[in-house]
Structure 1
Amino acid sequence: MTNNEFENSYVLSQAEVDRFNSEGYLIFNGFFDDNLTQLLKEDVDQLMVNRATNGETNIMVFPALGPLTSEPTVVDRVANLMGTTFTHHHIHARWQGEGESGVSWHHDYEQMPQTNRSHLMVHVFIYLDGLNGEIGDLLVLPGSHQRIMARDAFRQFMYDDLPGSVTIDNLSPGSFIIVHSALQHARRPKPGGETFRRYFIDTSYCQHGILWPAGRRLCHLNQMAIDLGWDRNGKYTFLYDNSCFFDPHDYIEKFNTRNQGSLALYLTKEINSKHKGTKA
């Protein structure tokens, strides 16, 4: 199924698609309505309490956070970028306060090992109270998603400015940013937070067509989303398709054994072996 086979309520312009492909991110400033933003904040507040008191922390069962994984405001725009169906990979949520530490430069593209960008993975960064220059600024390095590199390739630079990097520190409440998962980004710690909470949610989606690494609980969570009705009467059932994932824990030992020298040589051996079998 392509994204044209379901009614897409939010369509990106070609200029937006081109900008995403070039720069690796798109900002949607203040796009969530006030009611949804408030409900999400209430869920995040309860989630933070539950984490401190050993309560329920499964985000998928929260009444606003769970269906956020199929929120049309987000998902329909992601569909424009994907050009085909795709699957939900994860959702994280928390708020950050005064004295929050930073996060060094990194990217989040799931691949083992990092060798290509044949298929699209995106993260959606959601800022329920926006950004105002307190607690933490988002840093991005436009175009870095076009380079193949380890996740921590720039980690030694911590959260310093890099040539061409952009600081995002002024967003309205209810804003979100769709980020190519291979885009290098960081969070620079900032003072403040005495009266401001940095509400942050990230969701992630993977384009269909290959197998993606995923945690062992993901299949359970995606099935739970369908059982709870987050597929919105079947319109977004494809979001919770677990057939495009593999558990990397099942392959790490074998991969570490074979990860020596040029991996292309293993492919050559397999091709030669198949040719010999055909001739026989």
Structure 2
Amino acid sequence: MTEDDTVHEEPLTIGAFAARARLSAKALRLYDRLGLLAPAYVDEASGYRYYRADQVERARLVALLRQLDMPLARIAEVIGAEGAEAAGLLAAYWADVEARVAGQRTLVGYLRGRLSGRSSEMYGKFVIETVDVPARVVLTEKRHTLADELPAWIGASLGRLEAAARECGGVAGAPFVVYHAEVSMESDGPAEACVPVADEAAARAWAERQGRAREIRVRVEPAARVAYTRITKAQVAHPQILAAFEAVEEWLAREGLEPAGPCREVYFADWAAAGPEDPVCDVAFPVRAR
């Protein structure tokens, strides 16, 4: 068929097009409403939809992508791309799906342990210790964030804080993240990233120069006795890290202690250089006697 033949080909009614595309008319109306596949034209008088034969492949592709539970925005990206770019977008989406499923598989194992009463077995692998931490001056950045946004925000925020610390006498301790309320897929905290600095006067002078619009603040983190457990890079992932927090909480209850402030994660190692089994983080609670 020549290009002229395609241009002048008789348009297909929605019923004929649906049969050729092996889809229902209802699905085609949905794709139109979602902006994924519009008819070639719509008769203004009757409201009938008409399609071109060369739209069949796009219709079938949309249907297949929807079977992967791909969000509409990403379907639009894939069908709007060509060749290797479209394949790359699909591969990236499926990598995200597999990562999510792997996390959900781990979560199922964790929940099975809890529901079957084996929580003590899970908690037993964590060693709990205490340490006295002196008061520190910290640069902080606080944000309301959901769990899926948290890792990227922590990395970016600590990077900004460490850069600012260079103008405040330098970094004077391990960076940490304080959770002032629950961070999950339904609850957005807030979380507070913190970097200790060496020179309080320089930090406050730097903050003053930033003016009211600054996102980075300066505060004093009070001295505290802290109960913590050390975890590996693999254990930082959700839900393994939940078991670490709960193990510390269970230990506090046994020892007659209670949290004296919000829980936190202390990052003492080079994250990029660490392997899955390398210790990188302390899950910690400031504590006091009941």
The TM-score with structure 1 as length reference comes to 0.23
Larger Cα-atom Rg = 2
Q: Which has the higher contact order (CA 8 A, sep 6+)?
A: 1
